[in-house]
Copies of this chain bind each other. A is one copy, B any other.
Amino acid sequence: MKLPEAKDKFMQAWGTLGSSWGINRTMAQVHALLLISPDPLSAEDIMEELKISRGNANMNVRALIDWGLVSKTFKSGERKEFFSAEKDIWKVATQVMKERRKRELEPVLKLLHELSNVEGDKKDKNIKAFNDSINGIKGVVSKADKTIETIIKADESWFVGSFLKLMK
């Protein structure tokens, strides 16, 4: 397969994967494009490669910066901004985990805590079923939360090298 075709398939696939994980398709495609570019790209480059408007390019690049996956760079003598993506995929993965943990897991945990004890007769089977569910979910969600925290703090070599051995 030639490079242009491969690039295209990759950006497509990254976009699809992103959108099934709650990340806007175009944002994921911009990310893919920057990931495989050896040099930083300008807004124009992005608009052109992905055939998207200036506004769209701008918004999605901002979002990626907000997620900590992309940063601005400057070329001497050029006034416009260039963008480049973090190339270390392990860092990308931990950064995404960190953000999603903060944005989604933490609020859910907070709510689950609030829902932990409803008023009323603990013998009522509706109340009992509810409390049991909430507690079960709370257990698994907070375990997942702590696991992610540990993974984020661990370094790549640990993950790559030891994880599977430890799990045996």
A86-129 interface bits toward B, Cβ cutoff 8 Å, 1 = contact, 0 = none: 01111001000000000110001001001100111000011111
A134 within 8 A of B: yes
Pairwise interchain contact B164-A150, C-beta atoms closer than 8 A: yes
Closest chain-B Cβ to A166's Cβ sits at a distance in Å of: 5
Contact partner, A119, options B2, B130, B139, Cβ 8 Å: B2
At the interface, yes or no: A9 with Cβ under 8 Å from chain B?
A: yes
Docked complex Cα distance between A89 and B136 (Å): 6
Q: Which residue of B lies closest to A90 (CB)?
A: B140
Are B143 and A160 in contact, with the CB atoms below 8 A?
Answer: yes
Given contacts A36-B130, A125-B38, A136-B89, contact A3 B111 (CB under 8 A): no
Interface status of A55 (Cβ within 8 A of chain B): no
A38 contacts B126, C-beta separation under 8 Å: yes
Shortest Cβ gap from A44 to chain B (Å) = 18
With an 8 A cutoff between CB atoms, is A58 at the interface?
no
Q: Given the interface contacts A118-B3, A119-B1, does A37 sit within 8 Å of B129 by beta carbon?
A: yes
B163 lies within 8 A of A115 (CB): no
- Known contacts A104-B17, A120-B2, A139 near B9 by CB under 8 Å: no
With A37-B129, A127-B3 given, is the CB distance from A134 to B10 under 8 Å? yes
Task: Contact check, A115 vs B167: say whether CB atoms are below 8 A apart.
Answer: no
